[in-house]
Amino acid sequence: MKFLRVCLAVVICLLFVVAPAQAATHPSLVVDENDVASIKQRAQSVQAVKQALAAMQSQSWKSGAPQWALDEGWSRTMVEQAFVGFVNNDPQATNQAKALFLIHTQGTDIYDFDRFDQETQKYQYGQPCTALALSYDLLEPNLSAGEKTAAQQFLATWGRGLYGYYQDGPSRVAHNFHTSSVACLGLIGLTLNGEVDQANTWSTFASNAFSSYFVNSAYNPGGDYTEGYVYQQYGLPSAVLFLNALDRLTVVDFLSHSNLANLWQFYLAAYGSDGSFPQIGDNSGGPFIAGTDLYLLNKTTKQGLREQYLWEWYQLRGTGASQQLFPYLFKDFDHLGMVLYFPDLQKLKPASQAILPSFLMESATTGTTQGATQYPGGMAVLRSEWSETGDNTMLWLNNRWRWQNHQHYDPNSFTLEGYGETLISNFNNRTYDDPLRGKWSQQNTVRINPTAPDGDAPISPFVTGSSSSLGTFPTFFRSELGDIVISDSRYSHANLQTQNLPDGFFGAATTNNVTPIDRASRTVLLVRNLLPAPFYLMFDDFKKAAASEYWWQVYIPNAATKTSGKGSMAEPFQYQVGDAMMRMSFLNQEQPQLSIGGNELNRNDHPIDLKLKQSQLQLLTALLPARTADPAPQLRLLQQNPTVYEISLDGQAVQVVFNPEQKHVVYDDFETDAVLAVGKDWTNSNRQILFDQVTYAKIGGTVFFQTELPKSQTIPGGNPTVCTTSADINGDGKVSLLDYTALIPNLFQTVTQDKQKFDLNCDQAIDLKDITKLFTSLSF
C-alpha cells in the first residue's frame, strides 16, 4: 500500500512538469490546421463567434476607442490579423500582420526589452509581448529564413530578460502587474521550443509559477472576486492563452479543478440572487467577463451548469461582440477568446427548482503556502436556493489565507443578500489616496482594539488595509438541513510589521513566524429547511491574553428604512430595504448596546456596532432575512443549563442548544457535546437536527454517533443504521482505481441520496477519509 501511494504521488507530481517536446510546429499555440474547419463551422452556426470574427477582420474594435487604447493598438491589430489570415487563408490580413510584426521585432520601432525593464507597472508590456509571441507562431510559415532568425533572436532576448527578472521570484505571477509577463515568458518558451536552447526552461518555469502561485491563489480566492476580477484582467487574458497552449502542447491542465473554473459558479450565484453583484472590497468594478474567460467555462468540471453559465455570460456581456463593458487596456485578446472558446451550447436560464449549493473557493495549498488545512482561506458562499425571482438568501464569508493587493477586506467579513436586496453591504468607493481607506475598507467582522494600528502591509505606496494572513476554513459542511462553515483567523489580527518576517513581507508569513491570538473564530450556520424561511446563526468566539475591546460590526445600506429595535430577542434590530426586511438578534446578550453610525464620505452604507470590553467574546447572533409581507419570527430563551433558545415562525419552531464550552449537556432525552445543535422533533422518528462541532450525540438511550474529533453532522429521522456503503462504487465486483476516478469529481459535495454511495465511511461527508477507505479496500 505504501508503494502504491508513493507511485500515485509520483504520477500526480509528474503531471505538473512540462516535459521537453520536439521542435514546435507553427502555428500550434492556440490554433493549428486541424482547428480551422471547426472555427469556420462555428462562425456559421454561432452568432457570437461570427460577430467576433467579423470584428477581427474589420478591426471594428477601434470604433470609439480612447487614444490610450489606440497607442498600443498595433499589438491587437497584429495578432488579430495574423489569426484571420491563417484561419481564412487571407493574404492581405497576413501581410498586414507581418508588416506590424517586422516593424516591432526588427524594424523601425522595435519593442525592445528595455521598456519592460524600466517600468514598474509591468502589465503594460505583458500583453504586447504576448501578442508578439502569438504572432510569431501564426506567421512563422510566412517568414523568410532571415526574418525567422531575427524574430527568434528578438523573442529570445525577451525570454532571457523575463526569466532573469522572475527566476528568483516566481510568486510575483500572483500580482496583476506581472501575470501577463510570466504568461508571455511561457508562450515564448513554447513557441521557440527546439529553436532556442533555453526555451523549455522558460516554459517549465512559467508552468510551475502558475501552478504554484496563480490558478488557485492569485485569482482572488481570498474573497473579492468582483473588484479583484477587474484588476486581474491586467494579466488574465495572457494567462488563459498560455494555460490553454500548455494544455494543447503538453497535456498539463491546471484549470479544470482550479478556482478559475469556480468563478463561473460565483458569477452564476451572484447574478442569480438579485440581478446584480455584491460590492465586496474597495474600487469594485462590477460585472466584467472577457472572451478569454469562455475557456474557463469549457474547462469547468461542473458540466451540469455549463448552459446556465452561458446564460450568465449573455446577461453580463450582452450578445455578440459588444465592447461596452470593457476597458480596452485589459482585454486585447477578447475577440480572439470568443472565436477560440465560445461554446457551442444553448443558453439555459436556471430553472426555479434547480438548487445551486453552497460552495467554497480556496486559496493555494502549494507554493509559499505552508501549514494549510484541508480548507485554506478563501470565500465561502452559503445559499438557500435558486430562484429567478430572488426568492432566496445568500451569505458571502471571506477569510483569506494571504493578504492581496486591491482586496481589502477584514478577516471573517461577510455580506448578506436576501429576497432581491443587499441587506448587509460593503458599498465602499474610497480612492487610493484616501487616508481612511485602509481602516474603513471592509468591516462586517469582529474588530479587536480598533484604535490600535491596523497592521498595514508596508509593500506599496498606494495600498493600505489590514494585513491579515493565514486565515483558514477548518470546516465546510453541507447538508439538506443546512450548511456550516467555520472561519479561523487567529493569525489575521497580528500587525505583521512587528512579526519576524523578511522585510515585513506578508507572503513569507507562516504559522511558525506569525504570533496568533488565543482564539478568533467565526462560525456560520445556514439553517435551510427547519422553518418556513431560511435563517443564519453566527457564533463569534474571540479571546486575547488580556481583556480587550471587541467591536461586532456590520454595514447596512443607506437605502435602509424603518430602522428600529435594540438587538435583543424581544426587540430585534430591524430595517427594510426595498421589499426585504432584515432582523438581527444577539441571543446571549440581554441588553445589547447597539451604536448606529452616520453616513460616511464616499460610502453608500453606514455601520452598526456592538462594543464589548471583556476577557473574551462569545456572541451568538441570529440573522433573519425575510420579505416585508412575511410574519416576524419570535425568539425566546427556553431554558438555561444548558442554554436553549427557541425561534418560531408561522406556527413552527426550532430549538437551539448553545454550548460554547463543549461540555456534556442534556436537553430532555437528548445528550450531546456539540457547540451548537439546531433542530426540531428531537426525540421522535421525524427529528431533524443540525450539529456544529460535535463528537457525541445520544437520543433516548441510543447513541447516534461518537467520534474522536469534533465535526459537523446531521441526524436524519428514523433509527441509526450500520454503515454498509461499499468501496465498489461502480459495481463491477472489485475495488479499483476506476472507483477512485468515480469518487474524485464528487469530493466535498453534499451527501444527497444519489451521492450516498460516495460517502464510504457513512459520516455524512465526502472527503479525504473516503479516499483513504477506498485505497485500503483496493483489489489486486
Q: What is the mean pLDDT of residues 537-542?
A: 97
CB-based burial, 326-336: b 16+ in 10 Å, e otherwise:
bebbbbbbbbb
Contact 298, 343 (CB under 8 A): yes
Position 368 scores a pLDDT of: 39
- pLDDT band, residue 451 (cuts 50/70/90): low
Q: What is the mean pLDDT of residues 196-219?
A: 85
Position 105 scores a pLDDT of: 97
* All cell numbers assigned to 549: 475591546
Q: How many CA atoms lie within 13 A of 614 on its CB side?
A: 10
Whether pLDDT at 283 is above 50: no
The residue among 439 and 46 whose pLDDT is bigger is 46
Strand partners, 553: 609
* All cell numbers assigned to 113: 526589452
Output the average pLDDT for the chain: 79
Architecture of the CATH domain 359-632: Distorted Sandwich (2.70)
Position 21 scores a pLDDT of: 47
Contact 188, 136 (CB under 8 A): no
Query: Before 27, cis peptide (omega within 30)?
Result: yes
Q: How many CA atoms lie within 13 A of 413 on its CB side?
A: 26
Choose which CATH entry (2.50.20.10, 1.50.10.100, 2.60.40.10, 1.10.540.10) describes domain 23-341.
Answer: 1.50.10.100
Position 420 scores a pLDDT of: 82
Position 110 scores a pLDDT of: 93
Q: What is the mean pLDDT of residues 163-185?
A: 89
Query: For the structural domain made of 721-780, what CATH number should be given?
Result: 1.10.1330.10
* All cell numbers assigned to 317: 456581456
Q: Which of these ranges, 79-88, 489-498, 616-625, 755-764, has the smallest mean pLDDT?
A: 489-498
Whether pLDDT at 5 is above 50: no
Position 454 scores a pLDDT of: 43
Position 720 scores a pLDDT of: 47
pLDDT digits (tens, 9 = 90+) for 453-467: 444 443 443 333 345
CA 637 centroid distance within chain: 38
Position 363 scores a pLDDT of: 61
SS3 (DSSP) at 644 = strand
- pLDDT band, residue 356 (cuts 50/70/90): low
Whether pLDDT at 43 is above 90: yes
* All cell numbers assigned to 142: 510566412
Handedness of CA 660, 662, 667, 669 (dihedral sign): positive
Angle between helices 123-139 and 73-87 (to 10 degrees): 20
Q: What is the mean pLDDT of residues 474-503?
A: 74
Whether pLDDT at 530 is above 60: yes
Angle between helices 179-191 and 236-250 (to 10 degrees): 30
Position 347 scores a pLDDT of: 85
- pLDDT band, residue 725 (cuts 50/70/90): low
> Which range, 503-517, 562-576, 766-780, is most confident?
562-576
Position 22 scores a pLDDT of: 59
Q: What's the CA gap between 770 and 462, in Å, rounded?
A: 47
Position 354 scores a pLDDT of: 54
pLDDT digits (tens, 9 = 90+) for 391-450: 788 898 888 776 555 555 577 888 898 888 889 987 665 555 554 444 445 568 887 776
Position 132 scores a pLDDT of: 97
The residue among 335 and 33 whose pLDDT is bigger is 33
- pLDDT band, residue 752 (cuts 50/70/90): low
- pLDDT band, residue 274 (cuts 50/70/90): low
Q: What's the CA gap between 299 and 308, in Å, rounded?
A: 15
Q: What's the CA gap between 601 and 164, in Å, rounded?
A: 45
Whether pLDDT at 334 is above 90: no
Whether pLDDT at 221 is above 60: no
Q: What's the CA gap between 200 and 417, in Å, rounded?
A: 49
Position 226 scores a pLDDT of: 40
Q: What's the CA gap between 658 and 128, in Å, rounded?
A: 59
CB-based burial, 548-562: b 16+ in 10 Å, e otherwise:
bebbbbbbbbbebee
Whether pLDDT at 373 is above 80: no
Q: Do domains 359-632 and 721-780 have the same CATH topology?
A: no
Residue whose C-alpha is closest to residue 62's, from 364, 310, 323: 323
Burial class of residue 210 in the structure, from the number of CB atoms within 10 Å of its CB (0-12 exposed, 13-18 middle, 19+ buried): buried
**Number of C-beta neighbours around residue 273 at 10 A:** 26
Q: What's the CA gap between 196 and 191, in Å, rounded?
A: 10
* All cell numbers assigned to 437: 481607506
Position 15 scores a pLDDT of: 36
Q: What's the CA gap between 542 and 492, in Å, rounded?
A: 12
DSSP classification of residue 701:
T
Residue ranges per domain, the chain? 23-341, 359-632, 653-717, 721-780
Q: What is the mean pLDDT of residues 217-235?
A: 55
* All cell numbers assigned to 299: 474547462
